[in-house]
Structure 1
Amino acid sequence: MTIELTHVKAPEGVAPGTGYSHVVWGTGRFVAISGQCAFDGGGNVVGEGDPAAQARQVFENLRRCLAAAGATFENVVKLTYFVTDVAHLPAVRAARDEVIDAGRLPASSAIQVAALFRPELLVEIEAFALVGE
């Protein structure tokens, strides 16, 4: 079954966001992807000290998790970014832009945190998606 997602960049009376949609909706099976960090398949940290390398690895891990649910980045309706420094957001956005169509940006939130669960980690991202039945 094909699913149709609707993206609203700026509802009436709401200032448009840069790099995200304020509202996304559709129908289908809900998929929640736990926060992913920059670990390779062996559990090793990729890109220690390098937010761009970590962001690319995180999006690769998200891609693999989405695939396990029969989904792709086209199905993502919401991303939540946890970063240890908001200065890492340009690197995160660049990695996102490599895998997500700019015309179909999901809703998103970005939160700066004091730390992630291991000190060498700079970025964690969780995703919500809708997949056709």
Structure 2
Amino acid sequence: MPTHTRIRPFNTKQAYPEQKLDNDVCMAVRAGNTVYLRGQTAMDLDGNIIGVGDAAAQAENAMACAKVLLEEAGSKLEDVVKIVIYITDRAYREPVYRVVGAWLKGVYPVSTGLIVQGLAKPEYLMEIDIIAEIPAQRA
């Protein structure tokens, strides 16, 4: 019996055809009551890039996708316990954090923020990594 459920599996050849990759990954994994999301970016769930040049629009897309994926795993945004936000320029911190903060208002996850030199695609200005824990009474 599997100990976890893989949600929306795909191969990196599909998401990054311009790169010579061939990795089997998925958008989310539920292991027991814990849900791990793949880093959410400007790429929507259909593979389109949203908000080129606009960090806030990319964060809005990332959080909308995160909500869908969490729900597919039996979780909710209010179950989020940890986030890591990656931005490619310090100037993006305020617009990205405002968007993420609006989506997670009242949730109080632990949070780490990093400024990085680049992300998987040059269009990506931000990425958010999310872990959620489904409460036992809802699991």
Is TM (by shorter chain) over 0.5? yes
Which one-letter code corresponds to 1:58 in the other structure? A
1:48-87 alignment to 2 at 5 Å? 48-87=52-91
Counterpart of 2:127 in structure 1 is 124
Which one-letter code corresponds to 1:125 in the other structure? I
Structure 2 portions without partners, runs of 5+: 1-31
- Worse overlay, 119-128 or 37-46: 37-46
Query: Is 2:114 the partner of 1:111?
Result: yes
Counterpart of 1:40 in structure 2 is 44
The separation in 2 between residues aligned to 1:34 and 1:42, in whole angstroms, is: 15
Percentage of identical aligned residues: 34
Structure 1 portions without partners, runs of 5+: 1-27
- Per-residue displacement from partner, 1:34-76 (whole Å, max 9, x unpaired)? 1111112331110000011111001111111111111111000
Number of residue equivalences: 105
Q: How large is the Cα RMSD of the aligned pairs? A: 1.4
Equivalent position SS for 2:82: strand
- Per-residue displacement from partner, 1:72-97 (whole Å, max 9, x unpaired)? 11000000011101221111111112
Structure 1's consecutive aligned runs of 4 or more residues displaced over 6 angstroms after TM superposition are none
Contact 2:86-2:114 at 8 Å conserved across structures:
yes
TM-score by length of 2: 0.71
The separation in 1 between residues aligned to 2:129 and 2:40, in whole angstroms, is: 6
The separation in 2 between residues aligned to 1:110 and 1:29, in whole angstroms, is: 25
Which one-letter code corresponds to 1:108 in the other structure? S
The separation in 2 between residues aligned to 1:50 and 1:84, in whole angstroms, is: 12
Q: With CA pairs under 8 Å and 6+ residues apart, which has the higher RCO, 1 or 2? A: 1
For the structure 1 residues 32 and 41, does the alpha-carbon distance in structure 2 shift closer, same or farther, using more than 3 Å as the test?
Answer: closer
Equivalent position SS for 2:45: coil
Which one-letter code corresponds to 1:128 in the other structure? I
